[in-house]
A and B are shown apart, each in its own frame.
Chain A
Amino acid sequence: MTTAIPDEKGVEAVVAQEPVTATAKRALSSPWASLAAIVIAVLWTIPTFGLLVTSFRPESAITTSGWWTAAWNGGWTLDNYDQVLNGSDTNLGTYFINSMVITIPSVLIPISIAVMAAYAFAWMKFPGRDFLFVAIFALQIVPIQVTMIPLLTLYNKAGVTGPDSFGGGFYTIWLSHSIFALPLAIYLLHNFMSQIPGELIESARVDGAAHVQIFTRIMLPLMAPAIAAFGIFQFLWVWNDLLVALVFGGGSLEVSPLTVRLAELSGTRGNDWFLLSAGAFVSLIVPLIVFLSLQRYFVRGLLAGSVKG
């Protein structure tokens, strides 16, 4: 949802101007204000940092001393990572693969469908266009819990659940993630697309270009940043999802992603912190890399309203 909130360029332009608001800043940047900011920053960082430190400590050290004593207590090791990735009882390597296999199609498929639909809603004329667009937009309010039981029944009838089925049971997860992403994706991409000047499309049409050419040659390149913004969102959403994988994976570990396995470990081996800490970071590393390297797009997507309703 494009809003009055300026895009990043706007923000940077404002920042670049010498701040007229210096007074406001000065008033709030008293030592107490700085202290408050530091306290919040520390509170927000310490929990993750503690677990990160723990993941590199030997098991015996973890259980006998706090992680804050790690610098002089117990030494360091990579064994925890070796064990969670390759150990036979955890074997997170497999689940890491599952997460990848689930996430990639669940990002590509809905984006493709949504880009096409968004193009049609923005630039093609057909009866019922506005009604259909509003209807799709309105369906954003359906919480995924509401759809789950009937959808699961449907999948079971179609015989696509379970490890023995066609595609090993991944299709239900791919399809569900794709469907749940559509309303928001169509809405956002439509917003971006309708901002592209109409003359561009018109002149291309006059030159004899068909919709398909306009779509592939003009629209897709212009839409790349918007597609990237939504793609990152969908990527993080699918990678971090627990509910969809749990329900539509049919409880089969064959197709479970990292989140499902980690949640299970947290239940069954809740005190084995050498496993849990390393396991958590195995699952965190991909979203963190995506997030840190593509933060610009992420923030842009967030400001445009990429929040799953």
Chain B
Amino acid sequence: MSTGEKFIQMLIAIAVFFAVVAVILLVTQRLRSRRGELIQSAAFVLPAIALICLGLLYPAVKTIWQSFHDRTGQAMVGLDNYQTIFTDSTQLLVLRNTAAWVILVPIMSTFIGLVYAVLVDRSRFEKFAKALVFLPMAISLVGASIIWKFVYDYRDSSNTQIGIANAIIKGLGFDTYKFILNDPWNTVFLIIVMIWVQAGFAMTILSASIKAIPEDIIEAARLDGVGGMKMFRYITVPSIRPSLIVVLTTISITTLKAFDIVRTMTGGNFDTSVLAYQFYREYFNSYDQGLATAIASLIFLLVMPIVIYNVRQMRKLEAR
């Protein structure tokens, strides 16, 4: 398809869609009776409900069902796929890596985001300083991976370095390091990329909630002679606890589902795969539908309690 054709296809799709919406609105507009109102509400709600049933509800149920079947989806195998996830050595490595991601990324990004938010709070360059840390949020994870691959670029110690990380190491007089190849630390270096992306999110939310701490609390603490680190430890952190939890849980959920960094930087090789990537790999490379759906269901199972906790915390924040 040429560029023009693509745009025409796009315009057709948008036009058809809006025509359908307009027709729905026009037809239901005239109905004023009690029954008419019911039809009206159906016209407003049903498109959304139909799409959600088709694209979320049905597939979710189907995936869970298929996770109890073999690689082609024919024979029922019970819990075999799940057993593979928890016993097979490749899969155990995936679980180990996933655990590292889900523990390190939320804690480190929240910590850095919090410290930075406090440090730049009400400083003269606050807006600019925040934008610098926040910018990676606008970048795709693929873009971020390429940016960091360049930072980690490896060349033998005897050569001129073009990656800044190894240039610094060499400058300090050490041998250059294969950041992306050497297991198990390579996983940590991939995790750093995600921390780099997520810290901006943590900073934004936490900064807003630091600004919302009532003045009188801080004033009272100040009169009691509290300052500096103590103020941070005993006033700031407890006051923003609900936001801290929301940030931690939200980042955990995002991290559990992210596969772009692993795919772009290592392709899951050198023992760096995580659950979200392994799902893709098992289905599209190994054609093992059973195992892939089991991994997806496991992600679902892991995400669920965090989401529920997250939502309850948000409700609490709302209620305040």
Q: B56 is contacted by which of A4, A142, A277 (Cβ under 8 Å)?
A: A142
Contacts of B82 in A (CB 8 A): none
Instruction: Assess whether B44 is in contact with A151, with CB atoms less than 8 Å apart.
Output: no
CB-defined contacts of A14 to chain B, threshold 8 Å = 211-212
Residues of chain A within 8 A (CB-CB) of B320 are: 4
Enumerate A157-175 residues with CB–CB distance to B below 8 Å. Answer: 163, 167-168, 170-171, 174-175
Asked if A223 is at the interface (CB within 8 A of a chain B CB), the reply is no
Measured in the bound complex, the distance between the Cα atoms of B57 and A273 in whole Å is 43
> How far, in whole Å, are A105 and B11 apart by their CA atoms in the complex?
8
Q: Which of B32, B147, B199 contacts A210 (CB 8 A)?
A: B32
- How long is the Cα–Cα vector from A104 to B228 in the complex, in angstroms? 49
In the complex, how many angstroms separate the beta carbon of A255 from the nearest chain B beta carbon? 9
User: Distance in Å from the Cβ of A270 to the closest Cβ of chain B?
Assistant: 7
B172 at the interface (CB under 8 A from A): no
Q: How far is the CB of A176 from chain B (nearest CB, A)?
A: 7
B133 an interface residue at 8 Å Cβ cutoff?
Answer: yes
Interface of B is mostly: helix
Q: Which of B32, B48, B123, B276 contacts A29 (CB 8 A)?
A: B123
**A290 interfacial by beta-carbon distance below 8 Å:** yes
Whole-angstrom distance from the CB of A135 to the nearest CB of chain B? Answer: 9
Contact between B150 and A302 (Cβ–Cβ < 8 Å)? no
A144 touches B129 (CB 8 A): no
A198 within 8 A of B: no
CB contact list, A200-242 vs B, under 8 A: 210-213, 215-216, 236, 239-242
Indicate with 1 or 0, residue by residue over B241-281, a CB within 8 angstroms of chain A CB atoms: 01100100010011011011001110100000000100110
Contact assessment for B161 and A288 in the assembled complex, using a CB-CB cutoff below 8 Å: no
| B226 nearest CB across to chain A (Å) | 9
Smallest beta-carbon distance A145→chain B, Å: 4
The distance from the CB of A203 to the nearest CB of chain B, in whole angstroms, is 17
Is the Cβ of B142 less than 8 Å from the Cβ of A40?
A: no
Known contacts A146-B299, A283-B140, A284-B143; is-contact A119 B10 (Cβ 8 Å): no
A147 touches B60 (CB 8 A): yes
Chain A binding surface, main DSSP class: helix
Tell me, yes or no, whether A196 is within 8 Å of chain B by CB: no
Chain B residue, CB-CB nearest to A133: B45
Question: What are the residues of chain B within 8 A of A211 when measuring CB–CB?
Answer: 28, 37, 40-41, 44
| Contact indicator B318/A254 (Cβ below 8 Å) | no
User: Which residues of A (250-283) have their CB < 8 Å from a CB of B?
Assistant: 254, 259, 262-263, 266-267, 270, 273, 276-277, 279-280, 283
Is the pair A5, B317 in contact by a Cβ cutoff of 8 Å? yes
Indicate if B76 sits at the interface (CB-CB under 8 A): no
Chain A residues with a Cβ closer than 8 Å to the other chain, count: 134
Given known A66-B160, A291-B135, contact A40–B115 (CB-CB < 8 A): yes
Residue B112 at the chain A interface, CB threshold 8 Å: yes
Cβ contacts under 8 Å, A20 to chain B: 215, 218-219
Expressed in whole angstroms, the Cα–Cα distance for A256 and B44 within the complex equals 33
The yes or no answer to B95 lying at the interface (CB within 8 A) is no
User: What is the bound-complex CA distance between A64 and B235, given in angstroms?
Assistant: 52
Contacting pair A28 B150 (CB below 8 A): no
Our pick among B147, B236, B267 for the contact of A51 (Cβ within 8 Å) is B147
Q: Which of A13-41 contact B (CB under 8 A)?
A: 14-15, 17, 19-21, 23-25, 27-30, 33-34, 36-37, 40-41
Interface string of A68-89 (1 = CB under 8 A from B): 1000000000000000000000
A149 close to B44 (CB less than 8 A): no
B79 at interface by CB-CB < 8 Å: no
A45 interface contact, C-beta 8 A: yes
Instruction: State the Cβ distance, B306 to closest chain A Cβ, in Å.
Output: 9
Nearest A-chain residue to B225, judged by Cβ: A23
Q: Which of B13-21, B84-92, B97-105, B182-190 contacts A (4 or more CB under 8 A)?
A: B13-21
Across the A-B interface, the 4 shortest Cβ-Cβ residue pairs: A179-B55, A240-B140, A291-B138, A27-B228
A37-B120, A179-B54 known, 19 other contacts, Cβ within 8 Å? A28-B118, A37-B116, A46-B151, A66-B162, A109-B17, A117-B45, A120-B44, A124-B44, A139-B52, A148-B283, A167-B12, A168-B6, A170-B9, A179-B52, A182-B56, A212-B25, A239-B140, A284-B138, A308-B254
